[in-house]
């Protein structure tokens, strides 16, 4: 089973180590106990969104960048897991985008896009 908290902790640790910073420095800057930050990095504790925001601020990393890296790691882990179990997920369709021209409140034409949710799973291909 893939644990999100473990992947998140791995990414946080790599971010900190890339900067050459210690747990003590980051925990002090994020105003979180050293022990708790260590447990988050080891995937033993689930970090709240507020705690993640504080850690990201201390690391000077956007939360969206952190989550993107976690998402990439998760996708790779899922692919590895499905390859190991020889199961292939059902194919999914991409959402259908329907551009529609509408008039805004200001009277200027705007283009909006309607996204229809897929009814099946979508294949994800790692590049």
Q: Give the model confidence (pLDDT) of 45-99 as tens digits.
A: 999 999 999 999 999 999 999 999 999 999 998 998 888 876 555 666 555 555 5
Query: Residue 70 falls within a domain, yes or no?
Result: yes
Query: Domain count of the chain?
Result: 1
Q: What percent of the chain has pLDDT over 90?
A: 57
In CATH, what number is assigned to the domain containing residue 40?
Answer: 1.10.260.40
Beta bridge mates, 112:
100
Check the CA dihedral 15-19-22-24 and report its sign.
negative
Q: In the structure, what pLDDT confidence band is assigned to residue 122 with cuts at 50, 70 and 90? A: very low
The domain of 48 spans 4-85
Residue partners of 18: CB distance under 8 A and separation at least 6: none
Query: Residue 92 falls within a domain, yes or no?
Result: no
How far is Cα of residue 19 from the mean position of the Cα atoms in its chain?
20
Helix axis angle, 63-85 to 49-59, nearest 10°: 110
d(C-alpha 109, C-alpha 105), whole Å: 9
Q: What percent of the chain has pLDDT over 70?
A: 67
Query: Residue 93 falls within a domain, yes or no?
Result: no
Query: Residue 35 falls within a domain, yes or no?
Result: yes
């Amino acid at each position: 089973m893939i644990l999100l908290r473990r992947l998140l902790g791995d990414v946080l640790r790599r971010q900190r180590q890339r900067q050459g910073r210690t747990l003590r420095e980051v925990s002090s800057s994020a105003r979180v106990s050293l022990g708790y930050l260590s447990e988050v990095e080891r995937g033993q504790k689930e970090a709240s969104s507020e705690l993640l925001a504080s850690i990201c601020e201390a690391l000077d990393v956007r939360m969206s960048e952190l989550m993107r890296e976690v998402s990439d790691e998760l996708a790779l882990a899922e692919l590895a897991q499905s390859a190991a179990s020889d199961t292939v997920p059902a194919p999914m369709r991409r959402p259908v985008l329907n551009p529609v021209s509408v008039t805004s409140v200001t009277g200027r034409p705007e283009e909006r896009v309607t996204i229809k949710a897929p009814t099946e799973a979508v294949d994800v291909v790692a590049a």
